[in-house]
Structure 1
């Protein structure tokens, strides 16, 4: 099992931390962005990180692992592979989180939701709501990083390999906007 400091060291090694003025998928602003895609592009490191998430949930014996597109796709695949169960992803269609590509969830299936970074919990909660609307039973949420400052609104227990306290600002209160710094929108949500 990796410690938080080891997870942080891996993220730093792949330069997954970015400094600047960012608009997150949640709509909030901040001065630090964690680009887990830089970690997940490295199969050896993705396997190592996702092994820890898989181990945290192995005892719950999920039938299926699901992640939100885009950040949760590789995490869902690798955690599912390590647990020996199918891995799928949810995506947006007309602003609504849905299953496409002939993916399905059977009533009563025990489902683990996984994510790369939790900022507000919105993406994870949308996937939870989708799973539950199809009769699945969500057993928890696992993430690489929780940067929500304890404010994530997720209706089931969740855990992250690394919890970071970072500044998140509403756009109207953002000191970076007031300084006139250029805003970067690196996330996948439009």
Structure 2
């Protein structure tokens, strides 16, 4: 089992877990930001974390690992490799998550859904719906980071390399704004 301290170390080294003063998409402020895609540029870290996640599903006889595009594609692939399973991905077409490119999930297939990060779990729920519509059995969900702090329930086993809550504040109550030492930065507005 991969220890929380090691996961945090990997996330910091790979530039996923950032410290500073961030203006989030919601308009709230935070001293932390997670850019989960950053880890995927380091195969050795992705493999190590996926190995830890795969251990939680090693005895579940997984036939297929599927992830939503874009964030879930690489982690799903690596989990499938670790579990010696088939790998698929779902993608949006006309705003709806779907299987394309000739991908199918035969009835009775045991499926693991993989994602890089969950906050509300919306994309994962859409993929779960696809699996069920195709007649597959959702055996579990594996994610790199669960930002809901364990609050999301997919009605199946959930394994996260890191479960955390990114604490955020309204601008008026933000302690970093009150200190005035670090200006708020909107992720994506500079190279981070």
Distance 1:16 1:121 in 2: 19
In structure 2, the CA distance between the partners of 1:107 and 1:97, relative to structure 1 (3 Å rule), is same
SS of the residue corresponding to residue 89 of structure 2 reads strand
C-alpha distance in 2 between matches for 1:69 and 1:185? 19
Aligned to 2:15: 15
Q: Is the 8 A contact 1:22 1:185 kept in 2?
A: no
Aligned length: 178
Query: Corresponding residue for 2:119?
Result: 119
How far the C-alpha of 1:155 sits from its partner, in A, is 2.9
Q: Deviations over 1:95-120 (max 9, x none)?
A: 11101111111111000001111111
CA offset at residue 54 of structure 1? 1.2
Give TM-score scaled by structure 1 length. Answer: 0.84
Max Rg structure = 2
**Contact map agreement 1:117 1:144 (CA 8 A) in 2:** yes
CA contact (8 A) 2:150 2:163 kept: no
1:147 is aligned to 147
Question: Residues 33 and 166 of structure 2 are in contact (CA less than 8 Å); yes or no, is this contact kept in structure 1?
Answer: no
Residue aligned with 2:59, SS: helix
Unaligned runs of 5+ residues in structure 1 are 169-173
1:28 deviates by: 8.4
Correspondence 1:57 to 2:57: yes
- Matches of 2:44 and 2:95, distance apart in 1: 34
Name the structure 1 match of 2:180.
none
RMSD: 2.3
Contact 1:125 1:155 in 2 (8 A): no
